[in-house]
Structure 1
Amino acid sequence: MLKSSSLLLLSGLALLVTACYYDVEEELYPTLECLTDNVNYSEEILSIISTNCYSCHNAASNFGNVTLEGYAALKTRVDNGQLLKVIRHESGVSPMPKNQPQLVACDIAKIEAWVAAGAPNN
């Protein structure tokens, strides 16, 4: 009798504790704001490109005869439309980074905003 009462009491406490627990999605998974106003080449774009592209497309490696190292080299790919096509994984181009998932949406949005602003060397 005492054993079943203890078990019943523990079950009731467990139910009470779990019934009071709640998840607030915004607290568990905060939304990080993606700021695309005034995107800066030297502080944001260069960091994204160097982190995700330079392992294959620096001046030394030059895989696929594509170098993205340096503003002028990158600007050539911006001007011919290839940069956005490959990072968006559009059809008809080899998606980049090769054999990797697409860049995070915020990084793509920053590059798109920078390109739309004329891809300034700032």
Structure 2
Amino acid sequence: MHSKYLFPLFLLALTMSPSCYYDVEEELYPSTECNTSGVTYTGVIAAVVQNSCISCHNQSVTNGGVNLDGYNNIKVVANNGRLLGAIRHDNGFAAMPQGQPQLPDCTIQKFEAWVNEGAPEN
């Protein structure tokens, strides 16, 4: 009697198991797009500089003669090409952040867009 019900239950369980599969497209295939529109110093750049640069490049410690403390100081380095050269690890520039992995590609693209747009503050 039990074997009579066992086989249909087995088939039911077998057919239902694929329906329990969980996939989220955004998790499986994360977006590789990088939004570089409207990048400003206060909106994006300041936070990255604060987290990755300011401990070595501030008013008190100006390693390499570079002070990145505040918008006006960063804009000078952005305009003379040293900022992008350093974070992109271009030849002829000290790779920054020193002793750390290169910044993510999207972050570098945001810096490039910011510089190309004239390094807006707000």
- The TM tier, using the shorter chain, reads 0.7 to 0.9
Q: Which has the higher helix share?
A: 1
State the alpha-carbon separation in 1 of the partners of residues 35 and 24 from structure 2. 24
Contiguous gaps of at least 5 residues in structure 1: 1-16
* Offset from partner CA, 1:61-82 (integer Å, 9 cap, x none): 2112210111111111011111
State the alpha-carbon separation in 2 of the partners of residues 65 and 121 from structure 1. 23
Say yes or no: does 1:92 pair with 2:53.
no
State the alpha-carbon separation in 2 of the partners of residues 57 and 87 from structure 1. 14
Deviation at 1:27, TM superposition (A): 2.9
Distance change (3 Å), C-alpha of 1:28 and 1:58: same
State the alpha-carbon separation in 2 of the partners of residues 32 and 49 from structure 1. 23
Structure 2 partner of 1:57:
57
* Offset from partner CA, 1:22-58 (integer Å, 9 cap, x none): 9777533522642111112112111111111001011
Structure 2 partner of 1:41:
41
SS of residue matched to 2:76:
helix
Say yes or no: does 1:120 pair with 2:120.
yes
Aligned residue pair count: 114
Structure 1 partner of 2:103:
103
Deviation at 1:91, TM superposition (A): 0.7
Structure 1 residues 2-41: aligned runs within 5 Å: 26-28=26-28, 30-31=30-31, 33-41=33-41
State the alpha-carbon separation in 2 of the partners of residues 50 and 27 from structure 1. 29
State the alpha-carbon separation in 1 of the partners of residues 111 and 27 from structure 2. 29
Structure 2 partner of 1:6:
none
| 1:86 partner letter | A
Aligned-residue Cα RMSD (Å) equals 2.7
State the alpha-carbon separation in 1 of the partners of residues 59 and 76 from structure 2. 14
| 1:69 partner letter | D
SS of residue matched to 1:57:
coil
Identity %: 50
TM-score when normalising by structure 2: 0.75
TM-score when normalising by structure 1: 0.75
